[in-house]
Amino acid sequence: MSFLRLSAVVVALAGAIGLTLSNPTMDDYLRFVEQELSKAIDRMDRGTPTREQQFIRQVFQSQSRKLLESIVRPNTARQNWGIASKYETQVVDTKVIVLGLGGRFIPLQGVEEATLKIGRMAF
């Protein structure tokens, strides 16, 4: 085996190990969902007076963890493929599919629709 091929194999293995170590966990996924909900709430309340916006954000901040633990976690299935994970969440009649890869999340289906529905449920 030539040095070039051996180097390519070492780089590929190092990349695979790096992806495996950075494969997002369920807690990482819940933080991602929380961030998406926060963004949806910011978009929803643009026409609302400032005092009401602050109230909505305070309620969301205080209740978001309960909302995630009671609605999102029990309705999520994680398929761990070692270097990546696929998260499927069935919530409020919407199927959400997200790919976790390299410590990041790539929404594939239903994220926007579900975050709006969950954001409305919080109130």
Q: Is the pLDDT of residue 45 over 60?
A: no
91 forms beta bridges with 94
Global pTM reads 0.77
Strand ranges across the sheet with 94-101: 76-80, 84-91, 94-101, 104-109
- 47 vs 11: which has the higher pLDDT: 11
- Per-residue pLDDT averaged across 18-46, rounded? 81
In which band, very low, low, confident or very high, does the pLDDT at 121 lie, cut at 50, 70 and 90?
A: low
Q: Which pLDDT belongs to residue 37?
A: 78
Among 90-94, 95-99, 118-122, where is mean pLDDT lowest?
118-122
Structure tokens, 62: 């205080």
- 93 vs 26: which has the higher pLDDT: 26
CA distances from residue 49 to 45, 54, 105, 118 in whole angstroms, order as listed: 8, 9, 33, 21
CA 35 from centroid of its chain's CA atoms: 8
- Per-residue pLDDT averaged across 78-107, rounded? 91
100 forms beta bridges with 85, 105
Q: Is the pLDDT of residue 87 over 90?
A: yes
Angle, alpha carbons 113-23-110 (nearest 5°): 10
- The winner for highest mean pLDDT among 20-24, 29-33, 50-54 is 29-33
Q: Which pLDDT belongs to residue 75?
A: 92
Give the 3-state secondary structure of 96-111. EEEEEECCEEEEEECH
